[in-house]
Structure 1
């Protein structure tokens, strides 16, 4: 084989090896040959795109595949092309390094994301063409985190919900639940203060509980598929019959939690805080408030907090989740990979709406 090595690599710009809008990626394409070799073209390509694909079965013999895709940018630089009259360039025996530089567009582009039936990828590619031979390709994915969109409607507005419930089975009376938060947007690691006002005018005791969960939505051809996953949950002491209490709970947004993805038409990553009253033998009254998670390095309108503990919360799901965005410092990206780097929790999530029709699961 004449070509002994064909690869692409890039330089990290920070210890987390992440990039954002407007960053410049510098790197190099490496070509090592065992003898003097003719090359028709050597091309650098940068691409950002999203893709969704899943199938649904109808009976024993019928199924339909739903697909959708979006492209956010594609840039090509011709590094070697038509160097001679015959349309080829000759490189000598040995190892050759061809540098490149690419600036990520400074506009609204969704962050890197990997899910079970959809993903958003940002990658660098190199293509080497030779006469009468198959095109050689090398690629390298990089992690892109979009800048916080501080123009999101209601991002810094207080959130409020109220629910009333009558108790008729094995008891009597009614209960009411009011929930307040100071805002909708929080950066990774920030403390969220939740205030509950519970009025228990029933003959039963009630137990307030909290759940922070994520919702992943995939859309294609007029269909939607939804996966949900619990991130945190906790509870506080029972509130006795004929009692009224106001309770403040502090919840830490996990620092490793991926930022919300709201700027992609076919993939969405959203968060909700669910607060409910656990009442035996009664449908639990519950309130769901939207939470927008912002990247820790962004959000100029939000004061960045110091790292905070879990405030007594337990994490659920994967007991050993892969750390998001915290690889060891490095100067050069790892060798080319077939899959993008991990983003968020594991790809397999429990599905509450496996075929994702248009029910309101929030």
Structure 2
């Protein structure tokens, strides 16, 4: 029977929402009870971040599996240094404190989807000679700051389209391009129908998840919201407006993962019977609600790496670009964890450490701005607000080698 009882890893969340981000400190404890004096080869605590996608395609003999994996984070701290001869720990309750600082690196947010996931995990592992290792884990909610574009929340987007040499014209505007789950967008479209057909304005909020592996892709499209306006008869002009609410459980945008991406856009289009529907797409960046204050342009400052606890080392190369602005966090001593007592075991820290451009217009369409709807009033000009998409992207626990 194992002498190890009540093996638990716990940590103090750095904020009331319970998530972690670049620059945050994770401070916690590993506790367990020994029913007798026990020799350990090593006791180590790790923070790991992994992305993994997997799906199958084809049928029968042509059925194939597609799999890809990326590691974004691995930090570890030795609570009992590795020793093949073993380190004796006393009978009774044992408690070890640890502290990590999440590096200022470009890492994607946590995500779970049908064919892939991005998972960040806190793990404690205890090894004894000639015995199976004991492992406990706790999943971490990671929210990336990599998508922050301070001051761009209320930047409106505009676009226009026409069909059949100007017989049908539409210009549309959405009041923001960066939003959070629960936010409400305002969409306004001006339509001029000089054709002989009736048409109906419609708006939809779309989500697209793209999984990538082995030079193949698997795409999942989901409509999150849809609304339609009144029919516009031949020879008339109308203005259609509506409110589009981002669902509270919507996934956040992911643009910085090589094997998995999440994108959102608002599509404004005209439903015309027996014809190709003219449309305008507006890309959205959905960020975690807790980052809204930073996104709105509040003062922030660079966060110096390594300002907390023992130094952390990483096997990852430094980023090819300077880290973005992050809020200045509290100094050493936060969370009430003093420096390790010299009488305790030495804790050695080591570590391993889109946008949607306007598509080419279908046959019979033009993306040029339409003529004025009425004397002296021009529709909003088309604005190219986003750069081309970045085709960037977890198995946890025993799925990966330690």
Q: Normalising to structure 1: TM-score of the pair? A: 0.75
Residue 147 of structure 2 is aligned to residue 149 of structure 1: yes
Equivalent in the alignment of 2:78 = 78
Q: Do the aligned residues in 2 keep the contact of 1:45 with 1:126 (CA within 8 Å)?
A: yes
Q: Answer yes or no: is 1:8 the counterpart of 2:9.
A: yes
Find the counterpart in structure 2 of residue 132 from structure 1: 130
Other-structure match for 1:261: 254
Deviation of 1:120 after TM superposition, in Å, equals 0.6
Q: Alpha carbon RMSD of aligned pairs, Å?
A: 2.6
The offset of 1:82, in angstroms, is 5.1
- Could you tell me how far 1:64 is from its partner in structure 2? 2.3
Query: Which of 302, 316, 331 pairs up with 2:296?
Result: 302
Q: Quote the offset at 1:159 in angstroms.
A: 2.8
Match of 1:211 in 2: 204
Change (3 A) 1:283 1:229: same
1:230 aligned partner: 223
- Where does structure 2 lack aligned partners over 5 or more consecutive residues? 299-334, 336-402
In the other structure, the counterpart of 1:37 is 38
C-alpha distance after superposition, 1:154-174 (max 9, x if no partner): 98754333333349xxxxx94
Q: Give the 3 Å change call, closer, same or farther, for CA 50–82 of structure 1 in structure 2.
A: closer
Match of 1:201 among 194, 197, 201: 194
Query: Which residue of structure 1 aligns with residue 349 of structure 2?
Result: none
| Matching residue of 1:98 | 96
**Which digits, 9 at most, give the CA deviation of each residue in 1:61-110, with x for residues without a partner?**
13322221111121111111257xx6211222222221211111122210
2:253–2:263 Cα contact (<8 Å) kept: yes
Taking the aligned partners of 1:264 and 1:148, their CA distance within structure 2 comes to 11
CA-to-aligned-CA distance 1:210-243 (integer Å, 9 cap, x gap): 1101111111111111101111111222222211
- Equivalent runs, 1:251-330 vs 2, <5 Å: 251-299=244-292, 300-302=294-296
Q: 1:51 to 1:182 in 2, by over 3 A?
A: same
Task: Classify the secondary structure of the residue corresponding to 1:197.
Answer: strand
- Structure 1 unaligned segments of length 5 or more: list them: 168-172, 305-330, 332-362
Report the CA distance shift for 1:182/1:12 in structure 2 as closer, same or farther (over 3 A): same
Deviations 1:332-358 (A, max 9, x none): xxxxxxxxxxxxxxxxxxxxxxxxxxx
Asked if structure 1 preserves the Cα contact closer than 8 Å seen for 2:210 and 2:218, the reply is yes
Q: How far, CA to CA, are the matches of 2:282 and 2:225 in structure 1?
A: 15
Alignment partners' CA distance in 1, 2:282 and 2:156? 10
Bigger shift: residues 104-113 or 14-23: 14-23
Tell me what 2:177 maps to: 184
**Distance in 1 between the 2:247 and 2:171 partners?**
25
For residue 258 of structure 1, report the CA deviation from its aligned partner. Answer: 2.8
In 1, Cα distance between equivalents of 2:156 and 2:51: 33
Aligned residues: 296
Shift of 1:111: 0.3
Tell me how far 1:257 sits from its aligned partner: 2.5
CA distances 1:277-299 after superposition (whole Å, capped 9, x unpaired): 12233332222221111222225
| Alpha-carbon distance between aligned partners in 1 of 2:65 and 2:82, rounded to the nearest angstrom | 43
Distance in 2 separating the partners of 1:302 and 1:106: 21
The more displaced of 238-247 and 212-221 is 238-247
The question of whether the paired residues in 2 share the 8 Å contact of 1:164 and 1:174 is answered with: yes
Q: Does 1:248 align with 2:250?
A: no
Structure 2 length-normalised TM: 0.68
